[in-house]
Amino acid sequence: MPGAHLPQVQLKWPNPGSNEPPSIFNQPRILTMATRKLLLLPGDGIGPEAMGEVSKLIEVMNRDGNAGFETEEGLVGGAAYDAHGQSISDSDMELAMAADAVLFGAVGGSKWDDVPYEVRPEAGLLRLRKDMELFANLRPAICYPALAASSSLKRDLVEGLDILIVRELTGGVYFGEPKEIIDLGNGQKRGIDTQVYDTYEIERISGVAFELARTRRNKVCSMEKRNVMKSGVLWNQVVTQTHKAKYPDVELSHMLADAGGMQLVRQPKQFDVIVTDNLFGDMLSDVAAMLTGSLGMLPSASLGAPDGKTGARRALYEPVHGSAPDIAGKGVANPIAMIASFAMCMRYSFGMVAEADRLEAAIAGVLDDGLRTGDIMSDGMKEVGTEEMGDAVVARYRAAA
Ligand code: NAD
């Protein structure tokens, strides 16, 4: 049975031990509606190739199971710049705001290295995150047993690894003002970035982490640098207060972010959910990612706040990898990160937990069968291209119906 080889602890629906779904998933409008509106933004490089495999799956699901996905496609990144001179057009941005979820491929490439900063490919992604107010970035680091040998750490340290990093995405030093380079007039310049967090930002991101922990092993580790940063002191205080007021049943620990980085490579399985700010989350989630073997395997989700009336959250799902210009157009990209992002989309945006479990089990099954794209290839395995890997996952998914 394919799912038998997945790590034991999976995100579950509904909340184990309770009749109610945890409020992070509480989306009554989406759970009962007939159509599920998806905006596909394949982007640049390998983005369209990987997205093609998800489109295939969506088509099959609509045909076989009446899943009711309604898809539209837009341009983002360099592709949007070439067409409109913008990294995402206003009309595609409107589609994103109206969609139940956005699936994003990847952006960027040397072709657009010299375009103005404001319209560089990455600006499209930043605009989506900002306008959709996607403040919570979820990055699971799961080590499939079939791939444990390709981690840079020893097998016993990573086999069965299942960590979820919850990164604050819309605040902190990437957005704080002032943010500038000023001329000091003496031949020197000064570069300034500002790390800033307000109480509500820390409350809402830690709330997401606590809610998710309840669906897993019930542990949250909060990481900051309270020893040298005022924003770290506040972060620590607010997480502690939020825990005490609303989530006392969850086990909470605190760690300095640099020590957290060390612990991630020393003994990664000690963690369940890690919650941290934008900058530290950026780095720590990349460290955690590498524990699992390949960039081509890693999905992510970015969620907004629930709508007051409907409970639905804006959401964007994307693989962690970039546009991989070195292999773009060759048909060799690993589509699993993109497909696993779609599994997260079904789980978080549509409450399709059985389908998400089935899709993740199909991925594990295909790996157990020995199929590998070039990035995860090892001795004795069968090397396949993007389409063959996508077809195999779809076939496994259908077979498990
Ligand atoms: P990258 O993730 O594109 O590639 C890093 C390495 O991993 C490359 O050797 C690539 O071939 C390999 N790789 C990545 N995804 C793979 C997959 N699915 N299958 C097989 N191999 C895969 O990172 P990079 O090379 O640093 O950046 C390339 C471009 O992507 C740059 O323009 C960068 O700005 C952009 N980028 C975009 C995003 C995004 O869209 N969210 C994220 C990171 C980088």
Average pLDDT in the 13-37 region?
51
| Helix (H), strand (E) counts: the chain | 13, 14
227 vs 145, residue with greater confidence: 227
> Residue 291 corresponds to which tokens in the numbers above?
């524990």
pLDDT digits (tens, 9 = 90+) for 210-255: 999 998 999 999 999 999 999 999 999 999 999 999 999 999 999 9
Whether the per-residue pLDDT at 266 is higher than 90: the answer is yes
Give me ligand 1 centre to Cα 105, in Å: 11
Report if residue 2 sits inside a domain. yes
Residue 238 belongs to a domain with what CATH number? 3.40.718.10
Mean pLDDT, rounded, of the chain: 90
Q: Are residues 167 and 287 in the same domain?
A: yes
Q: Does pLDDT of 47 surpass 60?
A: yes
**Where a domain ends, among 263, 291, 319?**
291
Nearest residue by C-alpha to atom 20 in ligand 1: 333
110 lines ligand 1 (CB under 6 A): no
Output the pLDDT for position 144: 86
Residue 361 lies inside a defined structural domain of this protein: yes
Task: Give the model's confidence band at 32: pLDDT under 50 very low, under 70 low, under 90 confident, else very high.
Answer: very low
Q: CB of 21 closer than 6 A to ligand 1?
A: no
User: Is 196 a residue whose pLDDT tops 80?
Assistant: yes
Q: Are residues 120 and 7 in the same domain?
A: yes
Q: What atom in ligand 1 is closest to the CA of residue 46?
A: 18
pLDDT band with cut points at 50, 70 and 90 for residue 23: low
pLDDT at 237: 98
Q: Judge contact between 298 and 320, C-beta under 8 A.
A: yes
Contact (CB, 8 A) for 137 and 167? yes
**Does residue 106 line the site of ligand 1, with CB under 6 A?**
yes
Q: What is the pLDDT of residues 357-368, one digit of tens each?
A: 999 999 999 999
Within this chain, do residues 102 and 54 fall inside the same structural domain, yes or no?
yes
With cut-offs at 50, 70 and 90, classify the pLDDT of residue 34: low
Ligand 1 pocket check for 321: Cβ under 6 Å? yes
Question: Does residue 102 share a domain with residue 34?
Answer: yes
Decide whether any atom of ligand 1 lies within 6 Å of the 326 Cβ: yes
Residue ranges in 13-106 assigned as alpha helix (H): 28-32, 47-65, 78-84, 90-98
- Is 334 part of a structural domain of the chain? yes
pLDDT, residue 290, reads 82
Residue 142 host element (H or E): strand 136-142
Domain boundary among 257, 275, 291: 291
> Active-site residue numbers?
174, 225, 258, 282, 286
C-alpha 83 to ligand 1 mean position (Å): 22
Instruction: Give CA–CA dist 383/54, Å, rounded.
Output: 20
Please determine, for residue 305, whether its predicted confidence score (pLDDT) is greater than 90. no
Q: What percentage of the chain has pLDDT greater than the value 70?
A: 92
Residue 17 has pLDDT above 80, yes or no: no
Are the CB atoms for 92 and 75 separated by under 8 Å?
Answer: yes
Given 275, 291, 307, which residue is the final one in a domain?
291
Owning domain of residue 214: 162-291
Q: Are 177 and 98 within one domain?
A: no
Quote the pLDDT of residue 24.
54
pLDDT of residue 336: 97
Same domain, 307 and 222: no
Assigned token pair, 13:
């629906």
52-105 pLDDT per residue, tens? 999 999 999 999 987 999 999 999 999 999 999 999 999 999 999 999 999 999
Q: Which residues pair with 318 in a beta bridge?
A: 300
- Based on the domain organization, do 247 and 325 belong to the same domain? no
Residue nearest to atom 6 of ligand 1 (CA): 324
Same domain, 274 and 309: no
